[in-house]
């Protein structure tokens, strides 16, 4: 007679294999109804856990997530979508915000290694920092990189920022704009690098040369967007349009414009990145480069689970599309 497996227990209890495993390992994150069903199935089937195998695997049924700032609504939506996938498979989620702090990122990687989590979804402050690269390579668990594109043997989920920026800049060029201010993050990371490429490609395809004065890249912070927009608006020759090249940058751009009493789009045109209540409820509503961060969250969660469960071997790289949603914040000049 074939031996009873944990899959048999999960099937009889009507739960996932992950949930059944967590009950067997006395995890505290399983609901009482599921605990009862799993224990009844164990009793009926006569299932005996292989403790030696459990010790060797060391499964914690915990997955870490490192994001830049959990207070940013679209990133919170990403995390929430991932959590629904993890919950369905019996995994708990550990969340940390690192705010692009290299030291905190290193600390979190070390702590997750000590905790022996089963997998990690993360962003990173720098794609080419040698110490961060070594820390990721030393990890004892699989890592999925969110919106970062590295040569390391990690799965990644990416947003097509280059095409989104290309669409936005081409649209503004078609309206007659030439002094288009792009504010984005460092080109040391994929989103900043991709947006700068999209900006240059749009000008090239329009038969125009790029004035590097209007391309600003440093950090993705709202405060950076405020500073760069403010300083540009104080110049003798001002931009006619601003592209906020980051998910949290629109706030800073709008503060700078409103603070100078300028009207949108009569005095200056504005395009944001990723949709938000702020973009929708502004007067006028703001044109944005949009993508579905919840789709990215669900896909990222499933990819890391597949990796943990050994369902895949090759490195996977998934790119999610962007689209330009035109509203009332841009006008012809």
Which domain range does residue 297 map to? Answer: 62-159+293-320
Residues 185-191, mean pLDDT to the nearest whole number: 94
Q: How confident is the model at residue 27, as a pLDDT?
A: 58
Query: Do the domain assignments include residue 327?
Result: no
Please indicate, yes or no, whether residues 109 and 183 belong to a single structural domain of this protein.
Answer: no
Q: How confident is the model at residue 96, as a pLDDT?
A: 93
Please indicate, yes or no, whether residues 46 and 89 belong to a single structural domain of this protein.
Answer: no
- Model confidence at 50, in pLDDT bands (50, 70, 90)? low
pLDDT, one tens digit per residue, over 86-102 is 998 889 999 999 988 89
- What percent of the chain clears pLDDT 70, i.e. is strictly above it? 93
Give me the sign of the Cα torsion angle 52, 55, 56, 59: positive
Please indicate, yes or no, whether residues 80 and 130 belong to a single structural domain of this protein.
Answer: yes
DSSP per residue, 91-113: -EEEEEE-TT-HHHHHHHHHHHH
- Nearest one of 332, 329, 324 to 161, comparing CA atoms: 324
DSSP conformation class of 270: E
Considering its fold, how many domains does the chain have in total? Answer: 3
**What is the rounded CA–CA span in Å between residue 318 and residue 2?**
40
Please indicate, yes or no, whether residues 185 and 270 belong to a single structural domain of this protein.
Answer: yes
CA terminus-to-terminus distance, the chain: 80
Q: Of the segments 66-80, 112-126, 150-164, 231-245, which one has the largest average pLDDT value?
A: 231-245
As given in the structure block, the two tokens for residue 183 are 């504010």
- What percent of the chain clears pLDDT 90, i.e. is strictly above it? 70
- Model confidence at 2, in pLDDT bands (50, 70, 90)? low
Phi/psi region, residue 141 (left: phi>0; alpha: psi -120 to 50; beta: rest), is beta
Q: How confident is the model at residue 128, as a pLDDT?
A: 84
Q: How confident is the model at residue 54, as a pLDDT?
A: 47
Please indicate, yes or no, whether residues 97 and 153 belong to a single structural domain of this protein.
Answer: yes
Contact call for residues 101 and 286 (beta carbons, < 8 A): no
pLDDT, one tens digit per residue, over 108-149 is 999 998 888 999 999 998 888 899 988 988 888 899 999 998
Q: How confident is the model at residue 55, as a pLDDT?
A: 44
Please indicate, yes or no, whether residues 52 and 116 belong to a single structural domain of this protein.
Answer: no
Contact call for residues 300 and 141 (beta carbons, < 8 A): no
State the pTM of this model.
0.82
- Nearest one of 175, 179, 181 to 196, comparing CA atoms: 181
Please indicate, yes or no, whether residues 171 and 263 belong to a single structural domain of this protein.
Answer: yes
Please indicate, yes or no, whether residues 122 and 85 belong to a single structural domain of this protein.
Answer: yes
Contact call for residues 148 and 209 (beta carbons, < 8 A): no
**What is the rounded CA–CA span in Å between residue 167 and residue 215?**
16
pLDDT, one tens digit per residue, over 228-262 is 999 999 999 999 999 999 999 999 999 999 999 99
**What is the rounded CA–CA span in Å between residue 105 and residue 189?**
15
Please indicate, yes or no, whether residues 105 and 127 belong to a single structural domain of this protein.
Answer: yes
The CATH number of whichever domain residue 203 belongs to comes to 3.40.50.2300
Q: Is the pLDDT of residue 35 over 50?
A: yes
- Nearest one of 257, 233, 248 to 278, comparing CA atoms: 248
Please indicate, yes or no, whether residues 88 and 187 belong to a single structural domain of this protein.
Answer: no
Query: Do the domain assignments include residue 331?
Result: no
Query: Do the domain assignments include residue 19?
Result: yes
Q: How confident is the model at residue 298, as a pLDDT?
A: 97
Q: Which residue has the higher pLDDT, 239 or 45?
A: 239
- Between 27-31, 130-134, 307-311, the lowest mean confidence (pLDDT) is in 27-31
- Model confidence at 212, in pLDDT bands (50, 70, 90)? very high
Q: Could you tell me whether strands 287-290 and 143-146 are parallel, antiparallel, or unpaired per DSSP bridges?
A: unpaired
- Dihedral angle, C-alpha 65, 69, 71, 73, nearest 10 °: -80
Please indicate, yes or no, whether residues 227 and 297 belong to a single structural domain of this protein.
Answer: no
Residues 33-39, mean pLDDT to the nearest whole number: 88
Q: Is the pLDDT of residue 56 over 50?
A: no
């Amino acid at each position: 007679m074939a031996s009873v497996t944990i899959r048999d227990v999960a099937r009889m209890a009507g739960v996932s294999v992950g949930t059944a495993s967590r009950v067997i390992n006395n995890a505290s994150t399983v609901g009482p109804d599921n605990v009862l069903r799993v224990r009844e199935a164990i009793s009926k089937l006569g299932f005996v856990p292989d403790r030696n195998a459990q010790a060797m695997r060391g499964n914690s049924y915990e997955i870490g997530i490192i994001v830049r700032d959990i207070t940013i609504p679209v990133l919170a939506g990403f995390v929430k979508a991932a959590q629904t996938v993890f919950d369905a498979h019996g995994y708990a989620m550990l969340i940390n915000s690192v705010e692009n702090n290299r030291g905190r990122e290193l600390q979190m990687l070390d702590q997750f290694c000590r905790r022996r989590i089963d997998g990690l979804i993360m962003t990173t402050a720098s794609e080419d920092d040698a110490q961060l690269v070594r820390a990721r390579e030393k990890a004892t668990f699989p890592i999925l990189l969110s919106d970062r594109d590295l040569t390391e043997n990690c799965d990644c989920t990416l947003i097509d920022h280059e095409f989104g920026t290309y669409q936005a800049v081409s649209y503004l060029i078609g309206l007659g704009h030439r002094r288009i201010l792009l504010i984005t993050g460092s080109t040391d990371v994929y989103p900043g690098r991709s947006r700068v490429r999209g900006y240059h490609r749009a000008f090239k395809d329009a038969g125009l040369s790029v004035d590097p004065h209007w391309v600003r890249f440093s950090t993705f912070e709202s405060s950076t967007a405020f500073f760069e927009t403010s300083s540009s608006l104080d110049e003798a020759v001002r931009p006619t349009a601003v592209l906020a090249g980051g998910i949290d940058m629109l706030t800073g751009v709008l503060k700078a414009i409103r603070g100078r009493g300028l009207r949108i789009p009569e005095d200056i045109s504005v395009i944001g990145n990723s949709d938000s209540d702020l973009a929708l409820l502004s007067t006028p509503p703001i044109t944005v480069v949009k993508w579905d961060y919840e789709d990215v969250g669900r896909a990222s969660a499933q990819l890391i689970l597949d990796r943990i469960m050994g369902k895949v071997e090759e490195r996977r790289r998934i790119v999610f599309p962007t689209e330009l949603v035109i509203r009332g914040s841009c006008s012809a000049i």
